[in-house]
Every structure is written in C-alpha cells, then in structure tokens.
Amino acid sequence: MSDGRRTKTRECGQVPSIKLDVQSEPTSKGALTPEQSFLSRKAEVTQQDHAEFSAYLQEKNERDQRQQEPAPGSSPKPPSRINRRGLLKLVAGTAAAGEAVAVGYQMVTDGDIPAHGVMHSGATSTQAQRNIERELINPLANMRGRQFGNWVLLMPTKLGGGTYAVNLNTGRTLAWVSYWNYGDYNPISHHLCAFPSADPTRGFEWINSTQGGKNSLIYGIPTSIETPAEGFNIYRVRFDGAQMEVMENVAETTGLGLGVHVTIDPKTAERYLVTDGQKDIAACFDRRTSRVIAALKYDWVPNVRNLAEGWQKGGVLKISKIYPDPKTGKYDYLGTKGQKIEWEMVPMGELFVEEGTIPGDDVHGLTGADGTIWHPSGRWASTVVRLCGGQVILDAEDNFEPVAFLQFNKDAPNQYPIDKIDNDHWEVTFDKIFSPGHEVGFSPDGRFLCMMNNLRENNCSIFDSSDPDPRNWRKVAHIEDPLWRGKYPNPFHMVFSLDSSKLYLSILHPSPAASGVMVVDTRTWTIKKEIQGIGPDMQTLAITYDGKYVVGVFSGFQRLSSGIAFIDAETDELVGIWPSNGGSPRLRHHPDQTRAHEAHEVLHALSQCLPRTSRAIAFERLRRRPLAISLTPPCASPRRSARRHRRWSDPRGLGARGYRAGRPSSPPGRRPAAAAATAARNAPAGHGRPAWCQG
C-alpha cells in the first residue's frame, strides 16, 4: 500500500512482533528508543516476577505440607465450648469487651493469645497467620440451571477494531486482539472464519477480513474523523492458548484488499474464499502459501443508464478472471483502490444505490457480489449477487468456472443461462430484475439452498439443490408472512437444525426496534413460531453442534444495546440473553466434533455460512471425545495417513516450532477431510450433520 493511501506510521518491513524473550534491536545510532528501553526493562521485571512467584509457590507448598503434619507428641485439642451465641451472652453479661475480643481472637486463630495482651486497633503481631482457607474455583456459566456446552465463540468487534474469544462453558473471555497495534488505523473487523484445531483451547488459526475507508462514518456515530484510513486488510491470526497475534496481512502479501466475507473449503480446509461487495471481487487463497488460486470480478452493464431503473430493467452481468501483475506478482487492489462505491450496502440498503445516495467511482457497474459460500461437499461454491437477486454457482474443482445462475425472485425463471465468451470471461443476460436479495445458505445435507428476497418481495426463496448438476436446481417454495410488507420486518439471517427439519430466520426490524427469530418447518415450509422482541439489529444465527441451542446475536446497529440470545432448539423457547461486549452481530458455527463428520472441524461453520454485515461468531469445541469411527479412507496406508495428519496440523510445514519462533506448535489436527465429508453426507438425519448455511 502506497504512503499516499495509508495512515502514516513508522516505517516497517513487516508486522511487528513483540516478545519478552527477544532482545530489543538498537537503532541506527546505537541507542534504544524509549519504547525499546521500556520493553527491555519490562522483560527483566517480568522475568524477576516469575522467579519470585515460583519461589512463593514452592514455599507455599512446603508450608502447607508442614501444617498438615501433626506435631510430635501432641494430642488433638478438644472442641471449643464457646460458640457465637455464648460469646454474645458473655459480652452482654459482663461488659468485658476486652475479654470478649481476646476470646474471639482465640476462636478465630484456634491458638494462644499473644504475650503482649489483647489485640487492639493498630497493633501488630509477629506470629504468622495459620489455617487460611483457600479455594481453587472451577467456574461454570449457566442460565436458569442450563449450561451451553464446551464451545468457544470467536467474535469480531467491527468498529472496535479487533476480535475476541469467549468460552461458553465458563462465560470468560479467553483472549482478544486489536489491529490498531499493527498500524491499521481503520480496522473494521467485519468477518472471520477459523481453520481446524484438535484442541482450540491450546491454539487455532483464523482469517479475519476488515473493511476500511468511509465505512466507519455511516452509522451516525459522532466522530471528528474526516478522512479515515483506507483499511481493507485480510489478517491471518493465531491464538496460542494464551494470547492472539497477527501472523500475516494477506492483503499486503497478495495486493488484494478485500474486506467483507470469508469462508473455508469444507472438504480440505486448505483454501478459503474472501469476497468484497464494494469491489465486486471474489478470490480463493491457498492456506499454506496465501497464493491466489483464482480471482473473479463481477461487473454490471445496465440496459438503461438511469440509476433508478438501472437494475430493474435488466442488463448484462459480466464475470471475468483477473490476474496479478506479471512483474510484481501482486494485484493492484490494496486499500480502497478498485471500490465502486465509497461504503458498503448496509442491510436493506440496496435501494440507496438506485437512489444515488451512495457515491462512488462506478455505481452503475455495481453488482453487490459480497459473499461466497461452499456446498457441504466442497464440490461447488456460490457467490451471492445482491443487486441481481441471485447466485452464481462456481465449479470449485474446475478453477471456479461459473456454471449456473440461480434467480431467486418469485416471478422470475429458475435460472438464467451463462454464456462463456472465452476461458476468462462469461456473461449472464437479464430481461428484468424484480428485487435485490441478500443472505444465502445450504441445508446440512445439501438438499436445499435458501436466499432472502429483500425489499421489493420480502420473502425467503428455497431451491432444491439435491441434483448433482446445479443446472438442474429449481425453486420449490417461498416462505412468506402476512406481516412482511415493504422493507420491514423482513427475513435476514438463517440457520438450519442439525437434521434439517427446522429453519431459523432472524427477523429484522428498523432501528431502534427489537428484532426476533422465526421458526420454519422445512417439511412443509410453513411458519411454526416467531419469538419477538429479542433485541435491536438481530442478525446471525447458529446452532450448537449437540443440537441443543440456537444462538443468535443482536448488535444494536453499532451503538445500541447488544447481546447473545440462547434458544432451546427442542422447545423453541428463549432461554435467556448474555451480553455481547463487542456488539457482535455475527454468529457462525462448525460441525459437531463428536459426530462422524468430525474432520470438518472447528469453526468450519464459517466456511460454510455466508456471513453478512459485520462480524461473525465462530464456535469451537473445547474438549474432544475419542472418535467412534475412523475417518481415514480404507485404502490409505498408515504412512499416507501420517502425512495427511501432518499437513492438517502443520499446513505451512513449520515443524515443531509452530507458526513462529518461540511459539508452541499447533496441536495435532484432524484426519483427511474428504472422508469426513463423505461421512457427513451419508450420516442419517439427526446425527449431527453440519448446517452449511449462511448466518
């Protein structure tokens, strides 16, 4: 990123790494800067504190052992005949306050009165206090006697500029990271997803996309900022069991600054997609090298140049492969470069584009391609094109070549054909577009694909996606409520139950009204129940992978009340609400770690769920039970399985030293995901298949 397009900071070649066991480097003049001197001194003090604390623990252990051993030749003391009531009578009857204090002191210490007499105010004693009660707690979070399981919620804080993880079992924040520390002065932490981890309490890695530019100015929050930093960074971050640390800025590595949605390939977890709706770019990255596997750009050519009718009256969707500069090996989309509009289309904000309310360099060419999800098998990917009211299905096994366009508007045809111009260009021609759309998601078994038709239609459209060929997928139902009129209320985010028998929809109301959750029977696609009044800006939903609780977050439109709601998935009743300290409006999930599809692993819900606006909460199991089945293909040799095992747990081949010098190595990962994907597809209903859906 050039100096003219980024916040001015001190020059550095890479993201700074501060460790207590590394000596500070002197400046060119040989002297330490004040910051380096402070850190050096802090390291010395910390080391001394650790040594003193270790000595204290050892001394405490020896003292406790001595106190537990009875003195030689001593007989047990008879129990005192003086109790609290007797003591009060003694004080009242004799008015001998001094004697009462002396007796009380003897009762508390179970020892002799010091030789210097009654302990009076301000007096000191050289006699060590004994028998101090010490209790090591093991806190468990619960609500109305319920516990929510051993899960970790990983939540970005959007305008807070960071990410934090919460242990659902204890209610404690495990760790947090702030991207301001790394010289990013507009880190709108938008969305994230994490890679597999055998034990997430000891470490896991994730990808965190961040927005930038004027996205920080669109929420009506008072600010003195006039020209925000450009942002649009993609951070690879690691939690090592104690703290979080940025390992790489993928945007700087590749030249692709994309700031919206991130999803991980459920089949291998070796690649991930990042999609940005301001630049209309979707890119797939290699997990090990950060190499861009493929990048697609979506552009709109309207039939009429009038913004108010630019999409409704049809046009051509142009899809193009884009490539890096052959000289530098990088793309030229850092910061705000390449954005068509100056800030994102907020939820229910698509019509602002037609009104000309959102400025930009190429508003007429906007498509709103801001998220790409994966089919549960990993065979297909799907990019939502918001302003076209549909999705482009991509062949994930053929370099993400477009194969079908699904149109979710109620009165539109099921599909529009994709015309291949050459190996790098495709076109889709529309006669009209009835309504923009938004959130999308697959059911756990891959049989259904949903999309929200917002604003002009206000319904949830359902496609049958069970056919192996996406060109044969067809609309089968539309979920509608008589109260859904105009823009609000409207269905927003979604999650399926594990057996796909129910679909949960967040129902969005305008600020500051409280939103709710709707429950849909997927056998008849009829509404069963609506839970109203949960909180403002109800967004992402997910389900714990024991299938017991639906978890939803409301963010308060970045400034009002926020919280995490828990719903009993059996009774569909609201259990209660936890605070959401970062105002996180996003929630993602991953497959149940105790089921046959276990290798899909931690936080893969993020890779399967298209998140929308701001953050994501990712679930991780804290503890693991031994697998009941083998996920290794029968034909795999032990040596090949071992190689796959190493690749999964050490994707960058860094060996026992882990991801960076001085860091513990990643815990062993899962076994080959291809077998897990097969197990997940073959698992009978109700056996914990992952809900591959968007928030």
The 10s digit of each residue's pLDDT in 159-170 is: 889 999 988 888
- Residues 137-162 have a mean pLDDT of 87
DSSP 463-496: EE--SSSGGG-EEEEEE--TT--SSSSEEEEEEE
The pLDDT score that the predictor gives to residue 364 is 98
Asked whether residue 468 carries a pLDDT value surpassing 90, the answer given is: yes
Return the pLDDT at 63.
Answer: 76
For residue 394, pLDDT over 50 is answered with yes
In this model, does residue 556 exceed pLDDT 50?
Answer: yes
> Residue 280, CB half-sphere, CA atoms under 13 Å: how many?
24
pLDDT for residue 223: 86
Q: What is the pLDDT of residue 382?
A: 98
The per-residue pLDDT for 116 is 46
Residue 265 has pLDDT above 50, yes or no: yes
Express as a percent the part of the chain with pLDDT over 90.
Answer: 49
Q: Is 136 exposed, middle or buried (0-12, 13-18, 19+ CB in 10 A)?
A: exposed
pLDDT band at residue 290 using 50, 70 and 90 as cut-offs: very high
- Residue 411: predicted pLDDT: 92
Looking at per-residue confidence, does 108 or 565 come out higher?
Answer: 565
Ranked by mean pLDDT, the top range of 26-35, 38-47, 534-543 is: 534-543
pLDDT score of 626: 29
Segment 674-683 mean pLDDT: 41
Backbone φ, ψ for residue 158 (5° rounding): 50, -110
- Per residue in 501-532, pLDDT (tens digit) is 999 999 998 888 899 999 999 999 999 999 99
pLDDT digit string (tens) for 597-636?
Answer: 222 223 333 323 333 333 334 444 443 332 222 222 223 3
Mean pLDDT of the chain: 77
Q: Is the pLDDT of residue 571 over 80?
A: yes
Contact call for residues 594 and 625 (beta carbons, < 8 A): yes
Which stretch of 52-56, 203-207, 217-221, 573-577 has the lowest confidence by average pLDDT? 52-56
Within 8 A by CB and 6+ apart from 141, the residues are: 147, 148, 167, 168, 169, 170, 171, 172
pLDDT score, position 197: 84
Q: What is the pLDDT of residue 73?
A: 66
The reported pLDDT for the residue numbered 78 is: 60
The average pLDDT across 655-671 equals 36
pLDDT value of position 629: 24
**Omega before residue 489 within 30° of 0, cis:** yes
Average pLDDT for 329-356 = 94
What is the pLDDT confidence band of residue 583, given thresholds at 50, 70 and 90? low
* pLDDT over threshold 80, residue 11: no
pLDDT at 601: 29
Cβ atoms within 10 Å, residue 167: 19
Helical segments of 166-269, H only: 250-254
CA angle 187, 190, 192 (to 5 degrees): 110
- pLDDT at residue 586 in the model: 55
- Residue 663 confidence (pLDDT) above 50: no
- Whether residue 47 is predicted with pLDDT greater than 60 in this model: the reply is yes
Cβ-contact 366, 300 below 8 angstroms: yes
> Would you state the pLDDT for residue 437?
94
Whole-number pLDDT of residue 219: 84
